[in-house]
Structure 1
């Protein structure tokens, strides 16, 4: 029986809490709709008569003004020109700016050529090394050719050095 009373008491508490919340909501709605304020009685209310005594008068006149309009938008050109480089490099100086007129052959930008100069020196060094390798292989081939003619080396060794010389 005690368990029945405890569960009944909990159910009653929940019901009363919900009822109190609902009552509070009804009171807030009634207050916001003006139930607790004095109302204007029906009928006509007499207005105060206003006079223009003691007031300054201003006359109207036509004034011409310039009208300015601010707008947000995108300005797009009639023609678009794409400028692209044949090489990938860092731009070190820009000679023209947006909207400047340009002519054929005019320098638009100056590229940083340090990387290109380094690549050129690297390629020149590779050519020099390749030339030195060619000279070495040619000497080896000539030496093995003489030794082959004197039957001092085998045909296989001679062919190996001849192939290396032809590749170089």
Structure 2
């Protein structure tokens, strides 16, 4: 009898050992990541690319044709208003001035002669010595001589002005950005004015011409803060502000963009015209606000937590007339979600809910979210700084060195051959 009892005990112990080591479902450990809300700065921004350029540029040309004889400035040279930049050959235009000056002298001598003739004819006509026709002819010749003098004077002034145009002066105080001509080069101003120099008015003040996508232009407004970088100084950030949003759109490859002008200081003279800028326009900013990680808004409890924590989901706004919370006990992930009213019907509503840990309880709380930069989110209401907000969960399998929600090895990892 005793032998049967011993054998029975041995069989039960063996069966229990076999169940414990081979058939018992091993519990997986779950690690929950939490973080307390913090106060700080948050902003939303729009990114774009643009080109650095001077605030004001002037193209200096010539109104007369000729050969460049002298050039008195060069690239990057500072110039003053009224400074002589270049000269054209004056030989032909000086000859034109001399010719018109001679024509004027001839017209003036003709006028003196015709005036003397007119006086004599006028005296003779008054005493009846000449006819009316002779008097009218003398009057006509006198007025024609006066008109000839005026015409010759106008031609002389034109020639003198053209001679003046052979000297190219700077219209502003600035810096020479470009010089398009060289000594000995012929410039022709017959149809359009050729550009000889391009001057920048003040390169200590630059502007960035950025192209903002139509999807983002609605958030961009005047005087918003801007930061940008250029390839020449990747570790340095330059500051500016939105100066103007131009209404004329630009379409390229079916993409509509709007030109946005950004003013920036260049006291350090590091910014140069033509540099490519990567622009960040801050459309909204707030200081000293409560912040939580954005991934906390996407967290949903897993069924693996039901064995270790008490999971409680609150009712959404549509069912808040039921003041009591709905407990969730065990079950699969689908069961957990099905007991959260509104979670499956409105997936986007999850952005208004976060999970907090209170001891051994996971509690879902409704929060009001403000700014969200996809890294951090502003909490307007619904949380206190002392609460632990859940940001993620990691399930540890029974085997050492493996992590994951199910404890399964990756199918892409090489398998060790067994002996």
Scaled to the shorter chain, the TM-score interval is 0.3 to 0.5
**Structure with greater contact order relative to length (CA < 8 Å, sep ≥ 6):** 2
Q: Which has the higher helix share?
A: 1
Q: Which has the higher strand share?
A: 2
Q: Report the TM-score when normalising by structure 2.
A: 0.21
